[in-house]
């Protein structure tokens, strides 16, 4: 069951120690080839949902299946998920490629050179990968962070607000990166609080508000038919 589906979430609930329910009922799926946007205003529960997926926090209830394997602490299937963690600590005096290599060595996992090259290629870093990071723009740093999440070419890529702080050309580049990544049967789950961004970057959208899913489906349907969605997720 679900063996070929990158992600199936059923009845996810997360109540924090102080009793606050950040996610009260979340169900959705991410299939191969899809770029799914988890869309909602600040505080909707997006980060909490993604942190559960990355194994960083335990759900209070519900089940997560990654390629048919139940996700539990220490699941080997976590290695099939690539994640962008907040503010990865790059070493500014080293080149982009040196940073990626040192990160990967620390994971202790084997990696083919071809995978390395493909991740860098998809991230659109080009020759700047051989420059020191201190010369990078914010957008390039962000793409390096994404390249890091893509090393090993995980079949499911999970990114929390990857376009935060980027300017429009950088956002357009990020959009191409995500689309490229999802081709060839991989899948991407990305959070955002901007409807326009999800509309342009994603094939599907899951709209979450106050810990509950209020709409889900192909992005054309979500954007076209739901004025309430637009109202709910518009920037304050």
Chain centroid to Cα 29, Å, comes to 14
Max CA distance (Å), the chain: 49
Which one of the spans 13-21, 143-151, 165-173, 218-226 is the region binding ligand ATP (CB under 6 A)? 13-21
Alpha-helix runs per DSSP H in 37-183: 46-53, 96-107, 113-123, 138-150, 168-182
Q: Which residues pair with 39 in a beta bridge?
A: 192, 207
126 contributes a contact to ligand ATP by CB under 6 A: no
Compose the 177-206 pattern: x for residues touching ligand ATP by CB under 6 A, - for all others.
----------------x-------------
Cβ–Cβ under 8 Å, residues 41 and 211: no
Figure out which of the listed residues 8, 12, 30, 44 binds ligand ATP, where binding follows CB under 6 A: 44
235 contributes a contact to ligand ATP by CB under 6 A: no
40 contributes a contact to ligand ATP by CB under 6 A: yes
Q: Smallest distance from the beta carbon of 100 to ligand ATP, in angstroms?
A: 26
Residue 230, Cβ density class (10 Å: 0-12 exposed, 13-18 middle, ≥19 buried): middle
Figure out which of the listed residues 1, 4, 18, 235 binds ligand ATP, where binding follows CB under 6 A: 18
Separation between Cα atoms, residue 227 and residue 145, nearest integer Å: 34
Which one of the spans 36-44, 83-91, 101-109, 216-224 is the region binding ligand ATP (CB under 6 A)? 36-44
Residue 217, Cβ density class (10 Å: 0-12 exposed, 13-18 middle, ≥19 buried): middle
Q: Smallest distance from the beta carbon of 48 to ligand ATP, in angstroms?
A: 3
42 contributes a contact to ligand ATP by CB under 6 A: yes
# residues near ligand ATP by CB under 6 A = 13
Separation between Cα atoms, residue 102 and residue 152, nearest integer Å: 14
22 contributes a contact to ligand ATP by CB under 6 A: yes
109 contributes a contact to ligand ATP by CB under 6 A: no
Chain residues in the site for ligand ATP (CB under 6 A): 16, 18, 20, 22, 40, 42-48, 193
């Amino acid at each position: 069951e679900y063996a070929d589906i990158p992600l199936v979430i059923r009845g996810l609930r997360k109540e924090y120690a102080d009793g606050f329910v950040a996610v009260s009922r979340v169900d959705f799926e991410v299939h191969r080839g899809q770029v799914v946007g988890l869309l909602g205003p600040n505080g909707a529960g997006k980060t909490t949902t993604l942190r559960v997926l990355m194994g960083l926090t335990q759900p209070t209830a519900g089940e997560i299946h990654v390629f048919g394997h139940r996700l539990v602490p220490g699941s080997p299937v976590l290695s099939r998920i690539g994640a962008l963690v907040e503010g990865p600590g790059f070493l500014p005096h080293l080149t982009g490629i040196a940073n990626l290599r040192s990160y990967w060595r620390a994971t202790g996992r084997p990696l083919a050179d071809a995978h390395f090259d493909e991740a860098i290629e998809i991230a659109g870093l080009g020759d700047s990968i051989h420059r020191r990071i201190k010369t990078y723009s914010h957008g390039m740093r962000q793409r390096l962070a994404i390249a890091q999440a893509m090393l090993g070419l995980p079949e499911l890529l999970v990114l929390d607000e990857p376009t935060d702080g980027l300017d429009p050309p950088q956002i357009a580049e990020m959009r191409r990166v995500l689309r490229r990544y999802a081709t060839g049967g991989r899948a991407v789950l990305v959070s955002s609080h901007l409807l326009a961004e999800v509309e342009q970057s994603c094939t599907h959208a899951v709209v979450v508000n106050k810990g509950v899913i209020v709409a889900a489906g192909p992005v054309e349907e979500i954007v076209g038919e739901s004025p309430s969605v637009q109202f709910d997720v518009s920037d304050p």
